Chains A and B, each alone.
Chain A
Amino acid sequence: MDLQEYFSLVFSDYTLRTITLGTAVLGAVTGMLGSFAVLRKQSLLGDAISHAALPGIAIAFLITGAKDSNTLLLGALVSGLLGTFWIRGIISKTHLKSDTALGLILSLFFGFGMLLLTFIQKQPNANQAGLDKYLFGQAATLVESDVWMMATVTGICLFVLLLFWKEFKILLFDADYTKTLGFNTKFIDILITTFIVLAIVLGLQTVGVVLMSAMLLAPAAAARQWTNSLAKMVFLAALFGAFSGVFGTAISSSQNNLSTGPVIVLVAAVFVIFSFIFSPSRGLLFKQIRFIKNRRDLELHKTLAFMHQIAETHENISHPHAIKILNNFQGFTKGTLQKLVKKNYVTLQGNMWSLTEEGFNTASNLYNQQANNE
């Protein structure tokens, strides 16, 4: 199946439609909440939570014995939250730093989850197969009820986000100020963290424990490059996330043996790389161009200043001098000289240059802030 076929099938084929919708909704909600995780400098929290959710899935299965995805996700949610609050406990109660706490909880919970999974596999119960899809995710197992579930959670997220927008925003940028204003910062904090955990847990079935953190981070990191406004960033991140989901699904279904999760992550990574390079205000490309332009301007100024220095020593400022006395060290190149001529600061006569009235005045005001700001 090639891409064209995919797009013609996406509206008619049940499986494709479900998966595409599912990944799109998932991308949107993780992108939305991921913006908060990235701005709160909790990027790696997503990684830790998604790993920490694994034992919850196993325990939920052990208790209920059923593979109903909602029950398993509830288990994942509980153990993800437990992991999150233990991480906070470690950071606030001991002198261990946040990276250690994250790594600890991530690996310990994951290991415990693996122990339980292998233990379950040995149980005389035919039902257990397929639990390991939560490790790497399998978008193909999405059914319509899962998509409805995701859509509902996304709706609730959106509602809460809009309701507490002001609080979230102010907590994000100035936690102390929020406290002095009398907001219950602890409550807002727990609320946003809970929603981040919820979004991660939702994605486990589709992209899996290992890659979930990228779904959270990549759209947000890409969106961050294009804007400085929180609302725009959240919106863009949701958009990038949804597109990564759709494109990822399209690419992976157009070829054999291509799992959806990793492809979605790679598409999101392409978004990030593109944003890093081509964003107009922060991107590497335009930064480099601005850098070069600034350097050229500086060199022009340097040449002009040097000419001014020489011209100052003469009564007649337009007294001609040999081009030879200018050299590279003063930022002189043929190009800069041409530019100075074009700006009417300098006139050339054969091998001699002389400063014009205008050039002299500009040069003497070169480092005068007020003149430059005009």
Chain B
Amino acid sequence: MNNAQIEIQLIASLVAIACAIPGTFLVLRKMAMISDAISHSILPGIVIGFFITQDLNSPLLILLAAFTGIITVVLVEYIQKTGLVKEDTAIGLVFPALFSIGVILIAKNANDVHLDVDAVLLGELAFAPFDRLVVSGVDIGPKSLWVIGTILIITIGLLIAFFKELKVSTFDKGLAASLGFSPAIIHYGLMSVSSVTTVGAFDAVGAILVVALMIAPAATAYLLTTDLKKMLWLAIGFGVLSAISGYWFAHWLDASIAGSITTMLGLIFLLVYLFAPNKGVIAVMYRNKQQQIEVSLLTFLLHLKNHTDERERHVNHLQEHINWQKVRAKTVLDLALKNNMIVRDKNIISLTEKGKLFTSKAIDYIITNEDTQIEDMKDDFFLFRG
């Protein structure tokens, strides 16, 4: 590993962390698409800033472009407030228009601007180490490392200072307002940080892939935990993991680093989406199945409780009466037997004491419309789940 490789990985990891922090809050506040809008609409800001400063890494350019990001948010909110269109339409209208202005500005001045749309949207991390920051003759590292490092430090500082406020206003706007934190200030603060991060990172990973780094780690983390602090740490972890593994994947394929980082993010998300312990697709499907069988079991027990007649409690009769298929009936029967809810005596089934208790409690809950309580009760009664 040579020096440039280490620097690239360092920059990528810092970008990942700087994106994951605002990204977590954007995902929680259901504003993920705003980051997409910002990442597109900063283009005119970057172009105009570039006309003025002639330097892609100048702080003025970053501020100007970030300001365009804020304008986007304000415009979206204004259009939404007029009630003429829905919020998502407002987002979808504003950013392509601003982006088009940016593209046209670049195209009209193509001769005197060393800036091209691909570079802004896609970035090229591989070149980042060549643009060095030289202070009084001493080379102190790549420029983008300093840019993103500064942004990251500011973001972390703000996060620590306003963690409590952010947390309250994210989960309970009303409470935040009544406690005296202005939700508007926090909202625009978050938007500003997101804009600045997007602008700071576009040089390295490109504006669109900033969106991936903001949303994907946070969404992946959200599938694994519901604790805000853990979610932040997990998001940062996923971001850095995919930044580094993405770099080596790109190295191996000889393709775009930003693209392969995103691909890694996608793979991690896919894995978590499928296999997350509680909220993954497989877990959800398994739980649905379990619920289905347990509901069947309850139906079955209720039937037994209602009928004392031996004929009604005969195994064969059960099949035709409740209209279950053989396999299903057998699963339910086995489950009931395993949990000691019923006893089986020559194909005649009767409830045990435990089964009776369970059923009457369940009926109570159903009558009083507290069906959710049945879930808790199941933990007390069931030795084996469906």
Q: Using CB atoms and an 8 Å cutoff, list the residues of chain A in contact with chain B.
A: 38, 41-44, 46-47, 51, 89-90, 93-97, 99-100, 102-104, 106-119, 122, 132, 135-136, 210-211, 213-214, 216-218, 221, 224-225, 257-259, 261-263, 265-266, 269, 272, 276, 282, 284
Query: How far is B259's CA from A89's CA once the two chains are assembled, in angstroms?
Result: 24
Cβ-based interface call for B301 (8 A): no
- Are A44 and B88 in touch, CB under 8 angstroms? yes
- Contact between chains at A104 and B216 (CB < 8 Å): yes
Q: How far is the CA of A225 from the CA of B266 in the complex (A)?
A: 39
Do the beta carbons of A263 and B104 come within 8 Å of each other?
yes
In the assembled complex, how far is the CB of residue B159 from the closest CB belonging to chain A, in whole angstroms? 20
Q: Which residues of A contact B82 (CB under 8 A)?
A: 276, 284
Measured CB to CB, the closest approach of chain A to B81, in angstroms, equals: 11
B96 interface hit (Cβ, 8 Å): yes
Q: List 7 A-B contacts (CB under 8 A).
A: A93-B285, A97-B30, A104-B269, A111-B208, A119-B254, A257-B110, A261-B100
**Bitwise interface map of B from 363 to 377 toward A, beta carbon under 8 Å scored 1, else 0:** 000000000000000
* Contacting pair B104 A258 (CB below 8 A): yes
Kindly supply a per-residue 1/0 record for chain B positions 78-100, scoring 1 wherever the CB is within 8 Å of any chain A CB and 0 otherwise.
01001011101101110011011
Contact for B263 among A96, A97, A111, A263, CB less than 8 A: A111
- Rounded to whole angstroms, the CA-CA distance of A328 and B280 in the bound complex is 65
B31 / chain A contacts, CB cutoff of 8 Å: 99
Query: How far is it, in angstroms, between the C-alpha of A160 and the C-alpha of B269 when the chains are bound?
Result: 37
Q: Are B211 and A107 in contact (CB under 8 A)?
A: yes
B212 near A115: Cβ-Cβ < 8 Å: no
Question: Main SS of the interface on chain A?
Answer: helix
Q: Across the interface, name the chain B residue whose C-beta is closest to A122.
A: B254
> What 5 A-B pairs come out closest when comparing CB atoms?
A111-B262, A115-B259, A214-B96, A107-B212, A262-B100
* Contacts of B100-117 to chain A: CB distance below 8 A: 100-101, 103-104, 107-108, 110, 117
Q: How far in angstroms is the closest Cβ of chain A from B16?
A: 13
Q: Which of the 9-residue segments B32-40, B62-70, B165-173, B339-347 touches chain A?
A: B32-40
Across the interface, do A100 and B107 meet the contact criterion of CB distance under 8 Å?
Answer: no
Instruction: Verify B121–A103 contact, CB threshold 8 A.
Output: no
Q: Are A103 and B35 in contact (CB under 8 A)?
A: yes
Say whether B30 contacts A100, CB under 8 Å: yes
Interface set of B (CB-CB < 8 Å, partner A): 27, 30-33, 35-36, 40, 79, 82, 84-86, 88-89, 91-93, 96-97, 99-101, 103-104, 107-108, 110, 117-118, 121-122, 208-209, 211-212, 214-216, 218-219, 222-223, 250, 253-256, 258-263, 265-266, 269, 273, 279-281, 284-285
Instruction: Specify the chain A residue showing the minimal Cβ separation from B83.
Output: A282
Distance in Å from the Cβ of A87 to the closest Cβ of chain B? 12
Assembled-state Cα–Cα distance A63/B317 (Å): 59
The answer on a CB contact under 8 Å between B216 and A108 is yes
With a cutoff of 8 Å between Cβ atoms, the chain B residues found around residue A110 in the complex are 208-209, 212, 262
- CB pair B215–A103 under 8 Å, yes or no, is yes
CA distance A41 to B256 in the complex (A): 35
Q: Shortest beta-carbon distance, B360 to chain A, in Å?
A: 34
Q: Is the Cβ of B215 less than 8 Å from the Cβ of A100?
A: yes
Q: In this complex, which of B30, B35, B85 has the most chain A Cβ atoms within 10 angstroms of its Cβ?
A: B85
Q: Are A43 and B36 in contact (CB under 8 A)?
A: no
* A224–B265 CB distance below 8 A: no
Q: Taking A97-B30, A266-B100 as contacts, is the C-beta distance between A218 and B86 under 8 angstroms?
A: no
Closest to A108 in B: B266
Question: Chain B contacts of A111 at CB under 8 A?
Answer: 208-209, 212, 258-259, 261-263, 265-266
Option from A108, A217, A218 in Cβ contact (under 8 Å) with B262:
A108
Most chain B beta-carbon contacts within 10 A, residue among A103, A135, A218: A103
Q: Tell me which residues across on chain A come within 8 A of B215, comparing CB atoms.
A: 100, 103-104, 107
Is the CB–CB distance between A100 and B27 below 8 Å? yes
Contact assessment for B89 and A43 in the assembled complex, using a CB-CB cutoff below 8 Å = yes
Chain A hits for B273, CB < 8 A:
90, 94
Known A-B contacts: A104-B32, A210-B40. Give 15 more (CB < 8 A).
A94-B273, A95-B279, A104-B219, A104-B269, A107-B208, A107-B209, A109-B266, A110-B208, A111-B212, A115-B255, A117-B256, A210-B96, A211-B96, A217-B89, A269-B93
Q: Is the CB of A96 within 8 A of B222?
A: yes
A107, B263: Cβ atoms closer than 8 Å:
no
Q: Taking each of B96, B103, B209, B262, which has the highest tally of chain A beta carbons within 10 Å of its own beta carbon?
A: B96
Q: A-B contact count, CB below 8 Å?
A: 199
A257 near B107 (CB under 8 angstroms)?
A: yes
Known: A94-B281, A258-B108. A221 touches B89 (CB 8 A): yes
Pairwise interchain contact A100-B104, C-beta atoms closer than 8 A: no
A226 to chain B, nearest CB (A): 11
Q: Contacts of A263 on B, CB cut-off 8 Å?
A: 100, 104
**Using Cβ atoms and an 8 Å threshold, which residues of chain B touch A95?**
222, 279
CB pair B97–A269 under 8 Å, yes or no, is yes
Contact assessment for A132 and B30 in the assembled complex, using a CB-CB cutoff below 8 Å: no
**What are the residues of chain A within 8 A of B254 when measuring CB–CB?**
119, 122
Q: Which residues of B contact A119 (CB under 8 A)?
A: 253-255
B104–A112 CB distance below 8 A: no
Interface pair B107/A259, CB less than 8 Å apart: yes
Given known contacts A43-B91, A221-B85, A276-B84, is B108 in contact with A257 (CB within 8 Å)? yes
B91 near A265 with CB under 8 A, answer no
Q: Which of B92, B108, B256, B259 contacts A217 (CB 8 A)?
A: B92
CB neighbours (8 Å) of A51 from chain B are 208
> Are the CB atoms of A38 and B104 closer together than 8 Å?
no
- B98 CB → nearest A CB, Å: 9
Interface pair A217/B100, CB less than 8 Å apart: no
Question: For A111, A118, A216, A259, which residue has the most chain B Cβ atoms within 10 angstroms?
Answer: A111
In the assembled complex, which residues on chain A have CB atoms less than 8 Å from the CB atom of B33?
A: 44, 47, 99, 102-103
User: Residue of A at shortest CB range from B82?
Assistant: A284
- Complex Cα gap A94–B278 (Å): 10
A89 touches B281 (CB 8 A): yes
Minimum CB–CB distance for B325 against chain A, Å: 25
Distance A113 CA – B110 CA, assembled complex (angstroms): 26
Q: Which of B85, B92, B260 is A224 in contact with, Cβ under 8 Å?
A: B85
Which residues of the other chain, B, contact A103 by a CB distance below 8 angstroms? 32-33, 35-36, 211, 214-215
Whether B97 pairs with A112 at a CB distance below 8 angstroms is: no
Instruction: Give CA–CA (A284, B262) in the complex, Å.
Output: 42
Contact B93 A214 (CB under 8 A): yes
Q: How far is the CA of A43 from the CA of B100 in the complex (A)?
A: 18
Whether the Cβ atoms of B89 and A38 lie closer than 8 Å is yes
Which B residue's beta carbon lies closest to that of A276? B84
Is the CB–CB distance between A108 and B269 below 8 Å?
Answer: yes
Decide if A259 touches B259 in the complex (CB within 8 Å).
Answer: no
CB proximity of B48 to chain A, nearest CB, Å:
16
